[in-house]
Amino acid sequence: MEELYADLVVIGSGPAGQKCAIQAAKLGKSVVIIERYPNPGGACLHSGTIPSKSLREAILNLSDFYTKSFYGQKEIPKQSISINDLNFCLNLVLEEQIKQLHRQFDKNKIALVQGIAHFENHHQIAVLDDNNHLTHLVTGERIVIATGSKPRNPKNVPFDKEMVLDSTRLLSIDHVPKNMLVLGGGIIGSEYASFFAVLGTEVTVIDKKEQMLPYLDKEIGMHLQTALTKIGLKFIGKKDFDEIIRHK
């Protein structure tokens, strides 16, 4: 067990935790970041913004979507792009982003501790490993909690990490599915729905609202839906679901 002391302790290494820690270090404060997962970056890097944008570029390039759109081809042919192809592109980006984070932490002399944080008192945190063993005791003058958020999983949805997935598990599938039902036409739902539609998956999006991305101007939203329809996506608006039943 190792004891550490710092002016600032930050729990969580996502965008908020990173910026807070680096800014404090630049102002001359000693900083310790506690991150529960093996690599820093939080959901933004590992299951959110960075993966989705990286996959978007990989899919559009591997499918020649940009080229076909430029030459006015309306029909985008089905592509034989595998999940391995996409994961290869994604992992290249993630590895570089993780290295960059470590370089920033080292440059600013920020200590990174891996484990689960538990408050002992107002200024002291016990850090436990996956086996619930104490690895560090960290004391800080100030403590910032930047642990982020996770998807809200409705109780009437039987998530099984195989066929019924939330957005964080979607990246773990081992093949491009033949068909997909997306519940919710917001930012994340629309984004992943369009990805798989380009790959040739038959995608249906269901939402309570009249259009996808309902915060958009109505005319823009309708143009978006028209464009997505051309790549095979089907949208069902003003509908909700009562129950999801899995049939073998």
- What are the pLDDT digits (tens) for 72-97? 555 444 456 788 888 888 889 999 99
pLDDT tens-digit readout, 193-225: 999 998 889 999 999 998 899 889 989 988 998
**Could you count the other beta carbons within 10 Å of the beta carbon of residue 51?**
23
Q: Looking at the chain, how many residues does it have?
A: 248
Residue 1 to residues 118, 136, 140, Cα–Cα distance (Å): 15, 5, 17
Question: Is residue 199 a contact partner of residue 177, using CB atoms and an 8 Å limit?
Answer: no
User: For the chain, which residues make up each domain, given as ranges?
Assistant: 2-145, 150-248
Q: Is 2-145's fold the same as 150-248's? A: yes
pLDDT tens-digit readout, 92-141: 999 999 999 999 999 999 999 999 999 999 999 999 999 999 999 999 99
Architecture of domain 150-248: 3-Layer(bba) Sandwich (3.50)
Q: Please give the pLDDT value at position 69.
A: 58
What is the average pLDDT value for the chain, to the nearest integer? 89
Q: The dihedral of CA 180, 181, 187, 190: what is its sign?
A: positive
Q: Which fold has domain 2-145?
A: FAD/NAD(P)-binding domain (3.50.50)
pTM of the complete model:
0.81
Q: Please give the pLDDT value at position 66.
A: 62
Question: Is residue 116 a contact partner of residue 105, using CB atoms and an 8 Å limit?
Answer: no
Give the N- to C-terminal CA distance of the chain in Å, as an integer. 49
Residue 20 to residues 24, 45, 104, 228, Cα–Cα distance (Å): 6, 17, 13, 39
Calpha distance 32→181 (Å, rounded): 43
Highest mean pLDDT range out of 18-32, 36-50, 148-162? 18-32
**Residue 203: both structure tokens together:** 């995608």
